[in-house]
């Protein structure tokens, strides 16, 4: 049987083929439509957006750091300014291997090995596009050395910046403070946008306390860059719209400091470890604030080396310590006018009544002797004479009658045991002890003998030179009190207008009888007259001075005879010398506290320094020479 043969369906195949062609064509048209729509969206609708992004690939935003405010003294002398300097900077996003780059900079002696870990941490904590300063100030020789190797360091360049400069070097450094490189720790506490492009920040002193005033506001500018991130003038013939926002400089500061008086104070201190604080009692202006030894703040602005910093840190004389604010020491006999004031206020003494001093005092019911600095005593003394001759026995008895609570009350009103509130950081409050304090600190009761020695400025009692200057200023003004201040005005960088800071009054110290102030001042004036403990060094002054000498024991001798044994002690175990004063006594214009660490007698060592400062401020005698110790008058030495 013959099979039937299937005939090919040409028309069917053709229809299928045409259908497929049409389907593919429709699909192609749809795809082209989608592409066209996307191109329309990208090129027409989103043109501005992507044009801006495109420009961002070739336009870099460089920060414009603000100029730091200038600092002037009370006479308009510049004491902190900005000078051009060459910095070595690194941009993280342009550096392939940061650790290796830092090590190569060490190899060519532009960095120290000790600096690398801190710089590496700083770079990691910073934004990748932000330039990081590696060295704040390069010498010409270092600039030339880097130029030879610059081709090896992509992302590292030398930039011209303004760096802080202190024309007087180490003078007034403990008041001014200094600026230093921004650290990774600083980055945790600042607004990075405000510090974009800035390499320095205030570390201590005025530079730190007034950082927000001095720093200013950063700006920016857009620049065209090539594929390597290098700045170019243009890309082809295309015009690119660039933006610039100018930086706003920080405000300038005017200080109460008088640099002429400041330099006299520092010169007078000589090689002593010590401090001087001089205050205008009528408004709290700090005319001089000196602490020695000192150091050059410019070391820090240039980027201090590890070796140099270690030398400062480990120096046994502690040049980094601001003794004026942070040195808390026994005030010694300088507290005796305050003790007398407490006695008058609480009615336990009559200023004209006399007491017999035979050189030793014992508490009722006790045989333990508390000896006077003068072995055979001062004889019969009234309050004024007790202050003038610094009679210990008189003040032992006064302290015993007053009791520690009333002593604490009066001394606290005069500022002991609390910060004065000066407008720079780092101040210590000292210590005004009380039974409650001792119980909390040592879990012990307060003993009567501890009250006795507080009465002559020893024992647990501690004060800073700033507190002593503030206290004597309160006495000078009969109870008026002003917060000590260094800054008296700001100059607005935008308008040039000078905005003064008004003196800040503190709680006035009022007494039951205003006459008590005059009674105390009478005794302090007697300190500088014949028979007083400061008569010798202050003799010949053309103005009247109210003062009190003080000598605070560091190491207690069993015989308490420092005249015979004190000089045999190691130097750092010898007595501290102190002196407080104001002048003119009848029209106070300056109150001073002088502290000399392990200096000896307050009347022979500290008082002459104060006289030099009074002469400078009141008479314009700017003698910048160390002051020699003055031999005491016979019978008026004061070894406590």
pLDDT digits (tens, 9 = 90+) for 324-377: 999 999 999 999 999 999 999 999 999 999 999 999 999 998 889 999 999 999
What confidence score (pLDDT) does residue 51 get? Answer: 59
What confidence score (pLDDT) does residue 491 get? Answer: 96
Mean pLDDT of the region 89-104? 86
Q: Is residue 449 part of a domain?
A: yes
Residue 224: CA count within 13 A, CB half-sphere: 12
H/E stretch holding 20 reads helix 10-40
Terminal-residue alpha carbon distance, the chain: 148
User: In terms of pLDDT, which residue wins out, 62 or 122?
Assistant: 122
Q: Is residue 133 part of a domain?
A: no
Q: Is residue 547 part of a domain?
A: yes
Computed over every residue of the chain, the mean pLDDT equals 87
Q: Give the single-character DSSP code of 431.
A: B
pLDDT-based confidence at residue 112 (cuts at 50, 70, 90): confident
What confidence score (pLDDT) does residue 293 get? Answer: 96
Confirm whether 333 is a catalytic residue.
yes
DSSP alpha helix (H) spans, 303-434: 306-314, 323-326, 336-345, 383-389, 392-402, 404-413
Q: What is the CA radius of gyration of the chain?
A: 37
Asked which of 255-264, 503-512, 531-540, 567-576 is least confident by mean pLDDT, the reply is 567-576
DSSP alpha helix (H) spans, 455-549: 465-476, 515-527, 535-538
Tokens describing residue 621: 């005698």
Instruction: Count up the domains in the chain and report the number.
Output: 1
pTM above 0.85, yes or no: no
Residue 143 CA to chain centroid, in angstroms? 33
Q: Is residue 12 part of a domain?
A: no
What confidence score (pLDDT) does residue 226 get? Answer: 59
What confidence score (pLDDT) does residue 583 get? Answer: 97
Tokens describing residue 173: 């450094």
Residue 134 has pLDDT above 50, yes or no: yes
Q: Is residue 350 part of a domain?
A: yes
How many Å apart are CA 453 and CA 95, to the nearest integer? 66
**φ, ψ for residue 165, nearest 5 deg:** -140, 135
Q: Is residue 76 part of a domain?
A: no
Tokens describing residue 637: 């030495």
Q: Are 358 and 377 in contact (CB under 8 A)?
A: yes
Q: Assign residue 607 the CATH number of its domain.
A: 3.40.710.10
Residue 49 has pLDDT above 80, yes or no: no
Residue 576 has pLDDT above 50, yes or no: yes
What confidence score (pLDDT) does residue 97 get? Answer: 86
Among 333, 384, 434, 481, the active-site one is 333
pLDDT-based confidence at residue 14 (cuts at 50, 70, 90): confident
Residue 564 has pLDDT above 50, yes or no: no
What confidence score (pLDDT) does residue 559 get? Answer: 40
Mean pLDDT of the region 495-507? 95
What confidence score (pLDDT) does residue 471 get? Answer: 97
Which residue's entry shows tokens 């110790």?
629
Query: Inter-axis angle of helices 98-107 and 116-124, to 10 degrees?
Result: 150
The two most distant CA atoms of the chain are separated, in Å, by 165
User: In terms of pLDDT, which residue wins out, 72 or 102?
Assistant: 72
Choose the most confident range, by mean pLDDT, from 36-40, 245-249, 560-564. Answer: 245-249
Residue 622 has pLDDT above 60, yes or no: yes
Sign of CA dihedral 170, 174, 175, 179: positive
What confidence score (pLDDT) does residue 237 get? Answer: 54
Residue 619 has pLDDT above 80, yes or no: yes
Residue 121 has pLDDT above 90, yes or no: no
DSSP alpha helix (H) spans, 559-605: 562-565
User: In terms of pLDDT, which residue wins out, 509 or 557?
Assistant: 509
Q: Is residue 444 part of a domain?
A: yes
Residue 524 has pLDDT above 60, yes or no: yes
Mean pLDDT of the region 420-433? 96
Tokens describing residue 422: 């000066």
Q: Are 345 and 402 in contact (CB under 8 A)?
A: no
Reported as a single tens digit per residue, the pLDDT across 442-485 is 999 999 999 999 999 999 999 999 999 999 999 999 999 999 99
Spatial CB neighbours of 389, under 8 Å, sequence gap ≥ 6: 374, 378, 381, 531, 532, 533, 636
Query: Inter-axis angle of helices 607-614 and 259-269, to 10 degrees?
Result: 160
What confidence score (pLDDT) does residue 55 get? Answer: 52
How many Å apart are CA 357 and CA 102, to the nearest integer? 73
Q: Is residue 205 part of a domain?
A: no
How many Å apart are CA 276 and CA 287, to the nearest integer? 10
Range of the domain at 589: 322-478+514-619
Q: Are 221 and 242 in contact (CB under 8 A)?
A: yes
Cα–Cα distances in Å, from 530 out to 402, 518, 535, 602?
Answer: 30, 20, 6, 17
């Amino acid at each position: 049987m013959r099979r039937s043969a299937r005939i090919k369906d040409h028309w069917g195949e053709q229809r299928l083929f045409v259908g497929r062609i049409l389907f593919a064509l429709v699909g192609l048209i749809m795809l082209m439509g989608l592409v066209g729509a996307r191109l329309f969206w990208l090129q027409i609708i989103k043109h501005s957006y992507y044009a801006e992004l495109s420009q961002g690939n070739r336009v870099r935003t460089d920060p414009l750091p603000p100029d730091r405010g200038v600092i002037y003294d009370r006479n308009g002398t510049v004491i902190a300014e900005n000078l051009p300097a060459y910095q070595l900077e690194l941009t993280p996003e342009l550096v392939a291997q940061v650790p290796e780059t830092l090590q190569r900079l060490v190899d060519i002696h532009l960095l120290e090995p000790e600096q690398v870990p801190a710089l590496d941490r700083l770079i990691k904590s910073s934004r990748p596009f932000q330039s990081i300063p590696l060295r704040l100030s390069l010498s010409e020789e270092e600039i030339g050395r880097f130029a030879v190797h610059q081709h090896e360091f992509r992302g590292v360049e030398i930039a011209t910046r303004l760096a802080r400069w202190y024309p007087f070097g180490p003078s007034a450094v403990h008041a001014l403070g200094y600026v230093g490189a921004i650290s990774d720790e600083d980055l945790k506490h600042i607004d990075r946008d405000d510090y974009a492009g800035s390499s320095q920040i205030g570390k201590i002193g005025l530079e730190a306390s007034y950082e927000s005033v001095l720093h200013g506001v950063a700006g920016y500018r857009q620049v065209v860059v090539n594929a390597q991130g290098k700045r170019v003038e243009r890309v082809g013939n295309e015009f690119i719209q660039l933006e610039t926002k100018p930086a706003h400089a920080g405000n300038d500061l005017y200080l109460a400091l008088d640099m002429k008086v400041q330099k006299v104070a520092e010169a007078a201190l000589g090689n002593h470890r010590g401090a001087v604080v001089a205050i205008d009692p009528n408004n709290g202006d700090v005319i001089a604030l000196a602490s020695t030894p000192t150091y050059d703040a410019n070391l820090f602005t240039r980027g201090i080396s590890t070796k140099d910093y270690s030398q400062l840190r480990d120096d046994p004389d502690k040049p980094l310590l601001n003794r004026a604010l942070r040195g808390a020491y026994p005030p010694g006999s300088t507290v005796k006018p305050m003790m007398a004031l407490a006695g008058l206020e609480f009615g336990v003494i009559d200023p004209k009544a006399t007491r017999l001093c035979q050189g030793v005092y014992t508490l009722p019911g006790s045989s333990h002797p508390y000896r006077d600095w003068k072995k055979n005593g001062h004889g019969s003394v009234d309050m004024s004479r007790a202050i003038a001759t610094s009679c210990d026995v008189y003040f032992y008895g006064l302290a015993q009658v007053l009791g520690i609570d009333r002593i604490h009350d009066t001394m606290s009103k005069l500022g002991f045991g609390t910060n004065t509130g000066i407008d720079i950081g780092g101040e210590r409050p000292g210590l005004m002890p009380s039974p409650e304090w001792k119980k909390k600190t040592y879990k012990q009761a307060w003993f009567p003998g501890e009250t006795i020695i507080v009465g002559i400025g020893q024992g647990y009692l501690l004060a800073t030179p700033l507190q002593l200057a503030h206290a004597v200023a309160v006495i000078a003004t009969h109870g008026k009190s002003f917060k000590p201040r260094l800054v008296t005005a700001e100059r607005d960088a935008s308008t040039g207008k000078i905005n003064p800071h008004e003196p800040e009054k503190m709680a006035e110290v009022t007494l039951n009888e205003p006459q008590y102030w005059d009674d105390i001042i009478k005794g302090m004036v007697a300190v500088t007259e014949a028979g007083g403990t400061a008569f010798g060094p202050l003799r010949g002054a053309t103005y009247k001075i109210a003062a009190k000498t003080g000598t605070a024991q560091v190491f207690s001798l069993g015989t308490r005879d420092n005249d015979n044994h004190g000089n045999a002690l190691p130097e750092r175990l010898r007595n501290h010398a102190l002196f407080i004063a104001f002048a003119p006594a009848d029209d106070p214009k300056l109150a001073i506290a002088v502290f000399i660490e392990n200096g000896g007698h307050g009347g022979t060592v500290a008082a002459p320094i104060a006289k030099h400062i009074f002469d400078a401020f009141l008479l314009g005698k700017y003698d910048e020479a160390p002051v020699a110790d003055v031999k005491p008058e016979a019978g008026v030495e004061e070894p406590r």
